[in-house]
Structure 1
């Protein structure tokens, strides 16, 4: 075992022992009690006893995601795994409370059990692994825990990273502390990255090129493409549901960050001079900022309504302050702007609006999704703006030119279609790894 793993295990065990005397105090707080105890493994054995035992020779597959974005990315893969292994026992875990809530909403029909992720402390991860006895462990995108991964490796359980990506800040950190991260990444049987650039970064950290592959972004297979020719009634229903006028145009700004809402409101006010009926749906990345954003709108003379404050309310400006609904809103937009790109936050994934057949705009900061953004831009499905003024000019042009919007929408949809098939490529790899895991479990 690498030295860092030994040290990390000793440290995590010490923290676990320090936590034990505090459990009675934590148990007094409702906010933390249930989830913390679940993450320590309390109730796991009883939960598993409620499941029907898998037939002999049928695999157990454990899939783990960090939070909402990763759970959403996992959806097409989980659906594919269920279809490919109809009798398999599929266990899904998420780290955050919000991730678990979304998983419960979208994955419950597809998996056998939803569980809280183990804390990477002392014997906890080992207890989860012994209880679940997975033939394969799949990690979605991120949430790397050294002790947990080494426990899997010590038991020779095949471990697969899917939808892997490395942002510029993460890559700098991985390179700086390569002595720490390289042994951890080497515990994976295979790392499946979203892009060739992500694969090259992993190899440059010292990993065996045979251990890393490029299988694409699972979000290309997240939903069926919503063509422009879709039933107009579906869009009408969506607008009615969210309290918008069905006849007026709608601009959606998804996953915005601090420093972006104010310029977005400024652009919206300028657009209203020519398009007095224009509507705006703004979805902050952190929904806890909704009250702050409403105040920003009020400062600019804009009356914002919050989705959680009254779902029967109507009005042209909506703050979507819920988790897991944004992707379903994209089909009703004329244009979508990707948040996290006007301010330097690395941008967010533009695939979902593109898959909905909607023109996409983003700012100069799309570093975290550079290859996807570049392909969308190259194919004509997206445009990049470098300032607030440029965003206003581009929006004014698009809202005035229906043919340009249609052309961009078709190009965005084509880009998504050409990149589909990601789940199928993953299933080929998963089938091989499951066979390896089943062989190991038979000989334990």
Structure 2
């Protein structure tokens, strides 16, 4: 497959160039595309000494970067003298990596565009003894070339949603050799492991290791303490994390109703895409609700607070009293409920949690999570938590215990990774 992929690249190279060159005229890609083609790479990463061992870790964007932090901590702890190169595909992910991983890695770079000459340039310059991919961003050129050079590749925190599984299985002629390029695949759950085996990956290569986010420890305490001044102490904070279109309107309607009985309630909305802030602010105004944005305020004076920044969500979870997980009232597969649960607050989510099914199920079984089917059920559930501090504390404690009992995931990874080094 690798040879066929390279031949197809050569055939379509003129078309690819016609796509890449105009993209470089767009401001947000202007500096990043040349870097992803290898421009300036030698200036960023000096040639390593022959005896120096290098680990290359790659993450797609913000979510994968935060997942990678426990892994990077484990690698740095067990291999303090190894060089760690951390590549990220997106600009937002790169920004978060600089905030969270600067003291854990030696170099943070844009990831290579999957053209064979570019891949060869990156591999030759980095000279990794091990390549670790976090969750997703599978590229046949990179994985094929690593295999050709006998450099082991490992997938960590792997997961397969039901939707992805259908696509992978339909095109298994393409994905099977892609997944077989990995020496090991550390999957989050038994379901993910069985799905990978169904695709034709050998059982010896598949490990059920848990979700790296169970070992999350990336709260910026000083930043979190500063945030306390934004909200009056008498406020009860309801946070909706990683929301998607179609959810904010439901949340605003529920909040508007709840405010009659609970005037001290304040809603924090953190959209998955902060660039939607104008759309969300317009929606709030159409419902006669005052809203303020994080980027334009020093203290909260409005009942709704829009978190239109990247990388601060975990700090706001630490301040809140109740959390709702976005992407679950509309069919986006939900988002990870681990972070709010870590801070001992009740976690609510809608019916669409397929991407984090087992984590959501474990929270429900532990009595730390609550699933609602629509806005009416969401309102009723929130009313019960707002009316009873005892109930809120009970669910919050159960949520925190549920996550604490599953920590130590990084040790499952490091035991095998250390043998490859």
Q: TM-score if structure 1 supplies the norm length? A: 0.90
SS where residue 55 of structure 2 aligns? strand
Q: Which residue of 2 aligns with 1:172?
A: 166
Q: Does 1:222 align with 2:211?
A: no
Q: Which residue of 2 aligns with 1:316?
A: 303
Structure 2 residues without counterparts, runs of 5 or longer: none
Q: Does 1:104 align with 2:91?
A: no
Matches for 1:259-298 after TM superposition, within 5 Å: 259-298=246-285
Matches for 1:39-438 after TM superposition, within 5 Å: 39-49=36-46, 53=48, 56=51, 58-223=52-217, 237-240=226-229, 243-312=230-299, 314-434=301-421
Asked if structure 2 preserves the Cα contact closer than 8 Å seen for 1:63 and 1:93, the reply is yes
CA distance in 2 between counterparts of 1:173 and 1:142 reads: 14
Residues 39-90 of structure 1, C-alpha deviation per residue, up to 9 Å, x if partnerless? 00111112112x7x4572x420000000000001001111111111111100
CA distance in 2 between counterparts of 1:30 and 1:97 reads: 12
Q: Which moved more, 1:369-378 or 1:315-324?
A: 315-324
Q: Which residue of 2 aligns with 1:38?
A: 35
Structure 1 residues without counterparts, runs of 5 or longer: 435-444
Matches for 1:4-15 after TM superposition, within 5 Å: 5-15=2-12
User: How far off is 1:239 after superposition?
Assistant: 2.9
Give aligned pairs, total: 421
Asked if structure 2 preserves the Cα contact closer than 8 Å seen for 1:254 and 1:337, the reply is yes
User: How far off is 1:238 after superposition?
Assistant: 2.8
Residues 78-125 of structure 1, C-alpha deviation per residue, up to 9 Å, x if partnerless? 111111111110000000111111111111111110111000013111
SS where residue 42 of structure 1 aligns? coil
Q: Which moved more, 1:283-292 or 1:5-14?
A: 5-14
SS where residue 302 of structure 1 aligns? coil
CA distance in 2 between counterparts of 1:27 and 1:386 reads: 44
CA distance in 1 between counterparts of 2:168 and 2:24 reads: 37
Residues 105-156 of structure 1, C-alpha deviation per residue, up to 9 Å, x if partnerless? 1111111101110000131111111111100000000000011100001011
Distance verdict in 2 for CA 1:307–1:381, change over 3 Å: same
Asked if structure 1 preserves the Cα contact closer than 8 Å seen for 2:89 and 2:111, the reply is yes
CA distance in 2 between counterparts of 1:387 and 1:22 reads: 42
Asked if structure 2 preserves the Cα contact closer than 8 Å seen for 1:13 and 1:121, the reply is no
User: How far off is 1:224 after superposition?
Assistant: 7.7
CA distance in 2 between counterparts of 1:429 and 1:202 reads: 19
Distance verdict in 2 for CA 1:423–1:28, change over 3 Å: same
CA distance in 2 between counterparts of 1:264 and 1:383 reads: 16
SS where residue 241 of structure 2 aligns? strand
User: How far off is 1:24 after superposition?
Assistant: 7.2
User: How far off is 1:299 after superposition?
Assistant: 1.1
User: How far off is 1:333 after superposition?
Assistant: 1.1
SS where residue 137 of structure 2 aligns? coil
Higher relative contact order (CA 8 A, sep 6+): 1
Residues 299-318 of structure 1, C-alpha deviation per residue, up to 9 Å, x if partnerless? 11101111112335533211
Asked if structure 2 preserves the Cα contact closer than 8 Å seen for 1:224 and 1:355, the reply is no
CA distance in 2 between counterparts of 1:23 and 1:171 reads: 30
Q: Which moved more, 1:327-336 or 1:26-35?
A: 26-35
Asked if structure 1 preserves the Cα contact closer than 8 Å seen for 2:100 and 2:218, the reply is no
CA distance in 2 between counterparts of 1:414 and 1:421 reads: 14
SS where residue 310 of structure 2 aligns? coil
CA distance in 2 between counterparts of 1:334 and 1:236 reads: 16
Distance verdict in 2 for CA 1:268–1:25, change over 3 Å: closer
Distance verdict in 2 for CA 1:86–1:235, change over 3 Å: closer
The two structures, once aligned, show a CA RMSD in angstroms of: 2.1
Distance verdict in 2 for CA 1:207–1:395, change over 3 Å: same
Residues 284-309 of structure 1, C-alpha deviation per residue, up to 9 Å, x if partnerless? 11111111001111111101111112
User: How far off is 1:193 after superposition?
Assistant: 0.2
